[in-house]
Amino acid sequence: SQTIHQWPATLVQPVGSPLSLECTVEGTSNPNLYWYRQAAGRGLQLLFYSVGIGQISSEVPQNLSASRPQDRQFILSSKKLLLSDSGFYLCAWATGNFNEKLFFGSGTQLSVL
């Protein structure tokens, strides 16, 4: 069966520090991978998605970047965090012809202080 791992679960970082969140998927190959951000009281905002190794699409201009060095690995990064980067970050994967069903990781609660 497929599983998705996301870590760390919580992270407190000072403003201006770098960020690296990692997500890996097991039990499937060539998945579409996604990074979402969920701010308090707001919906799910798609940040990046990837259809293959090295292929990254950005949905919104921001202080973050994403990379996909391996088929089932997706990394969210920042060189210098801003206060506004605080939020709940979710990795997700989808597969199949139409990539309909999204399966989410357990999320990372990031607090930038």
Partner 1 sequence: GENVEQHPSTLSVQEGDSAVIKCTYSDSASNYFPWYKQELGKGPQLIIDIRSNVGEKKDQRIAVTLNKTAKHFSLHITETQPEDSAVYFCAASNRYGANSKLTFGKGITLSVRP
What residue ranges bind partner 1 (CB under 8 A)? 6, 42-44, 46, 49, 51, 57, 90, 92, 98-107, 109
Q: Which is nearer to partner 1, 82 or 102 (CB)?
A: 102
Q: Which is nearer to partner 1, 3 or 17 (CB)?
A: 3
Q: Which is nearer to partner 1, 10 or 17 (CB)?
A: 10
Handedness of CA 110, 64, 30, 43 (dihedral sign): positive
Q: Which is nearer to partner 1, 40 or 83 (CB)?
A: 40
- Spatial distance between the Cα atoms of 109 and 112, rounded to a whole number of angstroms: 10
CB 33 within 8 A of CB 52: no
Query: Phi, psi at residue 84, to the nearest 5°?
Result: -70, -5
CB of 97 to partner 1, least distance (A): 9
Give strand pairing partners of 48: 35, 58
Burial grade of 10 (CB within 10 A; 0-12, 13-18, 19 or more)? exposed
CB of 93 to partner 1, least distance (A): 11
CB of 63 to partner 1, least distance (A): 22
